[in-house]
Amino acid sequence: MPGAEGVGDKGEERGMSVRSFCLGLSMSVGLMCQSGSGFANEKPDPQKAEAGEQIYGDYCQTCHGDNLVSNGQTFDLRRLTPAERRRFETSVENGKGQMPPWRGVIDPEQIDKIWHFIMSKRG
């Protein structure tokens, strides 16, 4: 029955395609999870930290304090851990609580430099 073989072949091709898709999706999700946790092992870059200190002084210092020492009314940025980088970026871009959103004011590269400054001051 040539017709039956044709249907079976298409089914097998489709099955292979679905398997390939699922495998690709699994790998993508794994890489996303791995890259998200990869920040936990990231060491502060001294050049970025130096540039970040200036940006921090321009935008963050008023509320978060000189040299990251908060007056107690705002979040103490020294408490951030390397694993909280995404949380930090989201808070800076979208705001949180009394903190206004900085999206469009501070660009991702500047946020990265501020992050390196903060991480360089963490004990």
pLDDT tens digits for range 59-115: 999 999 998 998 888 889 999 999 999 999 999 999 999 999 999 999 999 999 999
Does residue 112 share a domain with residue 82?
yes
**Full residue range of the structural domain in which residue 64 is found:** 43-120
Does residue 91 share a domain with residue 68?
yes
Does residue 12 share a domain with residue 59?
no
Residue 44's contacts (CB-CB under 8 Å, 6 or more residues apart) are: 116, 117, 119, 120
Task: Output phi, psi for 99, to 5 deg.
Answer: -75, 125
Does residue 114 share a domain with residue 89?
yes
Does residue 47 share a domain with residue 105?
yes
Does residue 55 share a domain with residue 21?
no
Nearest CA among 46, 42, 36, 55 for reference residue 114: 55
CATH number (domain holding residue 98)? 1.10.760.10
Number of domains in the chain: 2
Check residue 57 and give its pLDDT: 97
Does residue 58 share a domain with residue 35?
no
Greater model confidence, 2 or 103: 103
Residue 52, by phi and psi: left (phi above 0), alpha (psi -120 to 50) or beta?
alpha
Greater model confidence, 89 or 22: 89
Does residue 101 share a domain with residue 80?
yes
